[in-house]
Structure 1
Amino acid sequence: MSESVPLKTPAPLFRLLLVLSATTGMVDAASILGMDKVFTANMTGNVVFLAFATTGAPGFHPLHYIVALGAFMAGAVIAGRLWRGDSAPRLNHWLVRAAVIESCLLFLAGLLGIAGDRAGLALASMLPVAIALTAGAMGFRNAVIRQLKVPDLTTTVLTLTITGIASDSRLASGTASNLAARLGAVAAIFAGAAVGALLFQWFGLAPTLLATGAVVLVATMVFVRHPQMAELQRK
């Protein structure tokens, strides 16, 4: 039986996952700074914030967290169905399709913001739709990356990665295995969040989402053209 990813992750796939990790930071910057403190890439925070909102804590709006959680799950469901229903054997073909879908959702969220500004609509009136589109894109991404089963490069979550850095370190009598990948994932999301925060401060929410979608699409198109990527098969 062929495997979707060999034991040693090919360099172009590793680099693509690092870039996608950086876009997670960009999305989080856009959503937290511009979407009423909503996480659209990571759902743990939304569950906690939803709990705050249900207790009446000021500054937390339950609808936004419910929308984010629901859209994220919907995106993951769609990705799962497409993965299982797609007979294309090549992983690079699937990654391109997934990048197009994710980018389109991010582009739609960004264009919605631009259209709202031109129409003079308040951001609050468009926020649930922008949250749904962005969270749906990230739910779709999470389901896609989950199928690759590349350790320490989920592109969205760092808790287990940081735990691995510490628990497998020399200080913990470990072998410091996979340290480069783990540090790379942390650095990528940090850098992406910093870039996203700057883009948001300089240009606003819509351009940040548009830029993120463009990075996802261009990076995928570039890295899947590598000869090593053509050899990978979907499981």
Structure 2
Amino acid sequence: MSEQTEEITQESRGLRLVAVLLGLTVVSGLIDAVSYLGLGHVFTANMTGNVVVLGFAAAGAPGFSVPHTATSLVCFLIGAAAGGRSSRWLGEGSRRRWVRLTIATEAVLLGVCAAVAFAAPHATATVYTLIAVTAFAMGLRNATVRKLGVPELTTTVLTMTLTGLASDSRAGGGSGRRSPRRTASVVAMAVGAFLGAWLVTDHGLAIPLLVAAVGAGVLAVVASGRE
């Protein structure tokens, strides 16, 4: 077996990136359920919603916080910058290694959040810690997913996915070729949000964060470098 063939075989070992990114989309639903329902109506994975929430908070709408939302936005951007740096360091080597390291880092960060939530669930510092660390983790992941460039799977934003699902469908005059992937992405986000909302409502913040950390950890172990 040639060195190039062996390298391709190594990269292909594990779960395809499409399935991995769908799994991360479920994790995103969990994280936004935790942040929106448990951390004062702020998003830490969905920055489109967060910009809107910041506008609500700045206008004085009840139930929203400028400091919480600004913390999320800033930490997400820092995470995205870190993701851009790591993509340049790791992206030229093994794609499988790059993906696994990034998702493993996310899993560790979410695990830290779960530990903090278990230790001091009602402390003010806990709220800011969870917002900051989950937003950083989502920024890191989003930068990586963007560099990977797997079509239709952003893992956190669904507006263009839903637009493509409708406009490229047969009803919209298209072929509907990518409809299964787009539909799976929407379903994955909804499943994550449902699971997160149920866990937050019945069990507080630590359990859903732990579930998200374990889920990301499993994906880090099984991910391959192939789409």
1:111 aligns with 2:89: no
How far is the alpha carbon of 1:129 from its aligned partner? 1.4
Give the partner amino acid of 1:169: S
Alignment correspondent of 2:193: 193
Q: Percent identity?
A: 41
How far is the alpha carbon of 1:17 from its aligned partner? 1.0
How far is the alpha carbon of 1:126 from its aligned partner? 2.0
Q: Distance in 2 between matches of 1:220 and 1:114?
A: 24
CA deviation profile, 1:143-168 (whole Å, cap 9, x unmatched): 01001111111111100000001111
Correspondences of 1:1-235 after superposition (within 5 Å): 12-86=16-90, 89-117=93-121, 122-224=122-224, 229=225, 232=226
How far is the alpha carbon of 1:201 from its aligned partner? 2.3
Structure 1: which 5+ residue stretches go unaligned?
A: 1-9
Q: Distance in 1 between matches of 2:174 and 2:62?
A: 44
Report SS of the residue matched to 1:172. Answer: coil
Q: Distance in 1 between matches of 2:29 and 2:36?
A: 10
How many residue pairs are counted as aligned between the two chains? 214
Give the partner amino acid of 2:173: S
CA deviation profile, 1:85-114 (whole Å, cap 9, x unmatched): 237611111111101211111111111111
Q: Distance in 2 between matches of 1:69 and 1:62?
A: 10
TM-score computed with the length of structure 1 as normaliser = 0.86
Structure 2: which 5+ residue stretches go unaligned?
A: 1-13
Residues 92 and 11 from structure 1, CA distance in 2 versus in 1: closer, same or farther, beyond 3 angstroms?
closer
Q: Distance in 1 between matches of 2:189 and 2:223?
A: 19
Give the partner amino acid of 2:117: G
Moved over 6 A (4+): none
